Amino acid sequence: MASDGRCNTLTTRPVLYASVMGAQQVKQPQIPPNLIIPGGQKCGSSSLAYYLSLHPDCCISTPKEPSFFSRQDNLRDLSSYERFFRQWSGQTILFEASTGYLFEEYAATRIRNHLNRLKIVIILRDPLGRTLSAYLHLKKRYDDLRGFEEVFGGLPVSPAAAFREEERRIEEAISTKKIDKQRYSLRYDDSLWPFRYLRNSWYIDPVNRYLTIFGRENVHIVLLEDLEKDPQHTMQGVFEFLGVQPYWNDSFLGAENSTILPPLVNLYDSVPPPGFKRMLETIVRKASIKRPSVKRHREIKGRIFPNLRSLLGMQLNELELATGMNLRCAWDADLDMMKLPRSQ
């Protein structure tokens, strides 16, 4: 970072760490990013990246989520990373926003070992909302055919025990073919991370990991709730952190990715899955599911939601200390506003 606190421009070719794999030095990208948005997933990273991309001094990768550091094999030739940034034309900030980086334990270290002079912007949201949104995301894609109670019912009250139980249920669902991890196997070394809905909402571990690896002065944390309530003020804080001039136009509003407010919809109205075979499998699966009564629906919601919130809330003291934010105020969501997916 420059002495005046601003990010170094890419026209100065940021220095990269020399990386060696075995005895062979890997090729380094000539146009590396100087900003990474590692997620979190289903926390509004698409909206954050969209607002950033509108700034004349910012350039986003194509696609938004290269997930380059999610695969060890990619690191054999870092020069291939350049293909995601071919549209760069001298902007001060060049960035990507791969949401798996926050939750994959190895991603932060890989990034730090291969890229230098890097800024990190993390976006978080109410952990219960993120948990449910992530589940619904894979449910709508028919990658997870488990019912709500199968995933979240009867979890232990201890976070560590709950995470172990979540892992056991994932393995069981794979064996019964209720989880399809195929689409994630080629993209991630850990193809199961998207299915760890609860573990991925335990933010304190990845937040501490990024603060430790990159340094507190190089990490900026944004809340989805703040981005929704006052996007201009929130983005001005991001621009200041990045060392670029403030930039905003009210016309930006309304064009952002729908990730900013992911609807918790009835899963019986989900979009058709890709592929005829999977469509037939889904039709059979959905036909075998009995809709719960309204009374049963409310009972499940009233029993499971508070337990999940209590469990995820155990991290708040430590997370507030780590971030310096009043998270309880921001995340004091009304449970009655959340819709339970009726796919039991």
Token reading at 88: 């760069």
- Rounded Cα distance between 94 and 74, Å, is 20
Of the candidates 128, 116, 127, 119, the residue with the CA atom closest to the CA atom of residue 38:
119
Asked whether the predicted pLDDT for residue 30 surpasses 60, the reply is no
Mean pLDDT, to the nearest integer, of 281-306? 61
pLDDT value, residue 93: 95
Which three-class secondary structure state does DSSP give residue 252?
Answer: helix
Token reading at 333: 């969501």
pLDDT value, residue 253: 72
Tokens 């003291």, residue located: 317
Q: What is the mean pLDDT of the chain?
A: 81
Lowest mean per-residue pLDDT among 77-86, 94-103, 220-229, 269-278:
269-278
What contacts 29, CB < 8 A, 6 or more positions away? Answer: 16, 78, 79, 80, 81, 82, 85
Residue 235 backbone phi and psi in degrees, to 5: -70, -30
Structure-model confidence comparison of residues 27 and 320, the more confident one: 320
Structure-model confidence comparison of residues 293 and 34, the more confident one: 34
pLDDT value, residue 276: 54
Asked whether the predicted pLDDT for residue 182 surpasses 80, the reply is yes
Q: Are strands 24-25 and 20-21 parallel, antiparallel or unpaired?
A: antiparallel
Determine if the peptide bond prior to 29 is cis (ω within 30°): no
240-to-1, 6, 165, 220, 281 alpha-carbon distances in Å: 14, 9, 42, 10, 50
Asked whether the predicted pLDDT for residue 334 surpasses 70, the reply is no
Of the candidates 42, 35, 98, 10, the residue with the CA atom closest to the CA atom of residue 238:
35
pLDDT value, residue 249: 80
Token reading at 153: 């019912």
Tokens 């791969």, residue located: 98
Number of H helices, E strands in the chain: 13, 7
pLDDT in tens, 208-231: 999 999 999 999 999 999 999 999
Confidence of residue 266 (pLDDT cuts 50, 70, 90): very low
Beta bridge partners of 221: 122
Asked whether the predicted pLDDT for residue 20 surpasses 50, the reply is no
pLDDT value, residue 77: 87
Beta bridge partners of 189: none
Token reading at 246: 């403030």
Q: Are strands 93-96 and 35-36 parallel, antiparallel or unpaired?
A: parallel
